[in-house]
Structure 1
């Protein structure tokens, strides 16, 4: 049986210096193979202790039951601050709660139906771009990045990716991705707050340019809201939502922070998962044909079509299991905890790894295999409740999770309705901002007989 690729694992014991080098190159291959079986693992450095949690009740304690006792680790997020500022992705406590009170209403269930036409238009535009590539080999991550960015700008600002500001943000973000190291010094060494962070110059310059472009978009929208001419999209909804506890709305700078993370999280994660889904369809042509047959229902722009794309949804969910776009989440322990046979000290880093949890061989049947039918089995249903967290879980679950589960299956089905994909190369997954292929994912594209 063909097995989807995963990265090589390192030996169980390496020096801190070796680990730092491996970690900087790729988080995933820096981890030992035993983590796919361990319920809990401890890592010690001269500066702090880190614990990986795979046991479902421990994961639930951290993410669902007592999230205030396990805030996001500021150490790992340091490298993203030049771009994200104080966005909802990096904040904690009352600041984070206030931000979520303003953001969450924009992503409630009814809004998915309202944003669907914009997603449909982006899917159609993606198919049109691919039509010019029939008979050639494509680098699929470039195509999915383009499509995901188009969805973000159409739903957030009612702008297609061809608009000059949207295009400029997209192009600058590609520059930022190439310059952004996964490991900032502060991730391994607890630097005092007064000490300057050592960011690469090209990273800070690129982040500044992205923020300047987003500021222009935000200011233009604020003027349109004031004039009563703003479209009813996600940006307008968020910028006009009043915090019920404070009576405040986001300032321009706060909105820039949030748009930056919407673009990073909504674009980067969707692009990653969609690229891997297309590769898996090339690897399993029988599933590709089943999705193509199902996609014949996509004839009109109607939100109800999503109820007919059940196989596509299962394939996309299985892709999220095998290739979760955010492979690890780090929380900080605020008071001593007893976890299994260990006392976890205050200040320890708690790592919840969807990458390892989703492939854990003591939880899942056939953990490394591609099987979209697993979600209908008892094991699959249990694991979906207890060990499937591609969008995190609990209070800090991604507000765009429902959004992603419409966008991904929709674009996947729209592509496979008209085109076949095939692959002659095996991509190696690595993790930087998200889980991507080390050397890209190259697929050949042919037109499908309908």
Structure 2
């Protein structure tokens, strides 16, 4: 039994046809050879793009010389209405300054400090699912995991539940924004300066404006609470009170809005994607689900929930790691060469686009044993250990690794364990989800499962 994978594009297509396929779904627009190639070239009249899968080249770009391969704005241009100048899109000195302020909020004991809020959101998710799932009810689980992940973000960032009026409005507007904004903007193929019009739809601009307005209200409210010395000790307070150690500056309101927008996108959308695919794989492999449920029962029984219980879930962690291998929420990342390069005896000019694809790298036929199979036990094998070091990048790698990677792993493991402990998940005949990629890897028609309380 093999987990679902989109059919690859067959044969060559014109640039216009490729643009149309890309807008519909990044994954099925790619040819099957990308699952075996170490490097592949794509040409347009305006630039050349190079997909790299060779571990040595991936390491060169992400770890050895990351500042010489900054993020490309060809993808970022499509996200700017919502994300502004957030840390996800910036480069150079601006990015370094932003990370100096943001990183302390996610270091060391801070993750431990966020655990109570994460646990509250997990219990709320289980309660909502319990109300919706009768004896064998069939539910679309992406909607459930999206709700749960948004709740985690609001509780840990602003100490408010998803039921808070502002939080609920942000959540609703974000779902609308996803429907109006493909990851590929025309700017991804046409050259031009940053000020060039990007032809966003009215819906994209409207929802981005409304989301940023709601975040502004939350930020202003928190700034007033900080000034009055009555702000909760959560992630928002930590970030808003952390000064750049080099300049002594704080984030101003606009900068904080940018960062909250990417925290919500990265922490909500990506987590919702991974957890939904995790629940589907639990249904597809009931023996794995049973083992996760048993491990959770032993870990949670008789314990006051605290951060230490995550160490009692090693198998669930391997399961979630395998979910991220097969269905990495962010399927592709794009960097740009700042100078002339030579990769695999090919000359790359300055401005060349370097595509790193977790989707293809994680399923590469020349790197992984059983690349398309679901095998949590692989992480204990020599092949799995080696590939975790050189061919596994669900959170990127190197200096630009996702600052919330540890947070995401803790959240995913906790939610997967708790939901499998509380509920049994089964596949529904005729409802096989087809992975597609827009902002993240989701299912074309949702993920439908039969859910029964244990």
Instruction: Give the TM-score normalised by the residue count of structure 1.
Output: 0.99
Secondary structure at the counterpart of residue 407 of structure 1: helix
**Alignment match of 1:361 (pick from 338, 360, 365):** 365
2:117 corresponds to: 118
Q: Residues 141 and 447 of structure 2 are in contact (CA less than 8 Å); yes or no, is this contact kept in structure 1?
A: yes
Alignment of 1:356-395 (within 5 A): 356-395=360-399
2:306 corresponds to: 302
1:233 corresponds to: 234
1:62 corresponds to: 61
Q: Where in structure 2 are there 5+ consecutive unaligned residues?
A: none
Secondary structure at the counterpart of residue 78 of structure 2: helix
Distance of 2:196 and 2:138 partners within structure 1: 48
Deviation of 1:192 (Å): 3.0
**Alignment match of 1:339 (pick from 313, 334, 343):** 343
Is structure 2 residue 450 aligned with structure 1 residue 444? yes
1:330 corresponds to: 334
1:253 corresponds to: 254
Q: Residues 75 and 183 of structure 2 are in contact (CA less than 8 Å); yes or no, is this contact kept in structure 1?
A: no
Alignment of 1:135-154 (within 5 A): 135=135, 136-154=137-155
Distance of 1:319 and 1:421 partners within structure 2: 16
Deviation of 1:182 (Å): 2.2
1:146-200 Cα distance to aligned partner (Å, 9 max, x none): 0000000000000011111111100110110111122211001112334222100
Deviation of 1:447 (Å): 1.5
Alignment of 1:98-109 (within 5 A): 98-109=97-108
Secondary structure at the counterpart of residue 40 of structure 2: strand
Distance of 2:306 and 2:264 partners within structure 1: 25
**Alignment match of 2:437 (pick from 409, 431, 435):** 431
Q: Residues 107 and 399 of structure 1 are in contact (CA less than 8 Å); yes or no, is this contact kept in structure 2?
A: yes
Is structure 2 residue 96 aligned with structure 1 residue 97? yes
Secondary structure at the counterpart of residue 350 of structure 1: strand
1:310-355 Cα distance to aligned partner (Å, 9 max, x none): 1111110000000000000000000010101201111100000000
2:43 corresponds to: 44
Distance of 1:189 and 1:287 partners within structure 2: 47
1:81 corresponds to: 80
2:15 corresponds to: 16
2:354 corresponds to: 350
2:422 corresponds to: 418
Deviation of 1:133 (Å): 2.0
Residues 171, 68 of structure 1: CA spacing in aligned structure 2 closer, same or farther, 3 A cutoff? same
Q: Residues 325 and 362 of structure 2 are in contact (CA less than 8 Å); yes or no, is this contact kept in structure 1?
A: yes
Instruction: Give the TM-score normalised by the residue count of structure 2.
Output: 0.98
1:132 corresponds to: 131
Deviation of 1:391 (Å): 0.2
1:249-293 Cα distance to aligned partner (Å, 9 max, x none): 100110000000000000000000000000000000000000010
Q: Residues 133 and 445 of structure 1 are in contact (CA less than 8 Å); yes or no, is this contact kept in structure 2?
A: no
Deviation of 1:418 (Å): 1.2
Q: Where in structure 1 are there 5+ consecutive unaligned residues?
A: none
Deviation of 1:47 (Å): 0.9
2:266 corresponds to: 265
Moved more, 298-307 or 287-296: 298-307
1:95-124 Cα distance to aligned partner (Å, 9 max, x none): 000000000000002111100010000000
1:53-109 Cα distance to aligned partner (Å, 9 max, x none): 000010011011101100000111101000000000000000000000000000002
Distance of 1:195 and 1:267 partners within structure 2: 30
Distance of 1:123 and 1:59 partners within structure 2: 35
Distance of 1:193 and 1:402 partners within structure 2: 33
Is structure 2 residue 402 aligned with structure 1 residue 403? no
Distance of 1:447 and 1:99 partners within structure 2: 44
1:159 corresponds to: 160
Q: Residues 12 and 33 of structure 1 are in contact (CA less than 8 Å); yes or no, is this contact kept in structure 2?
A: no
Moved more, 324-333 or 134-143: 134-143
1:220 corresponds to: 221
Secondary structure at the counterpart of residue 43 of structure 1: strand
CA RMSD of aligned residues (A): 0.7
Alignment of 1:156-195 (within 5 A): 156-195=157-196
Equivalent residue pairs, number: 447
Q: Residues 51 and 351 of structure 1 are in contact (CA less than 8 Å); yes or no, is this contact kept in structure 2?
A: yes
Q: Residues 79 and 183 of structure 2 are in contact (CA less than 8 Å); yes or no, is this contact kept in structure 1?
A: no
Distance of 2:5 and 2:160 partners within structure 1: 37
Distance of 1:133 and 1:159 partners within structure 2: 23
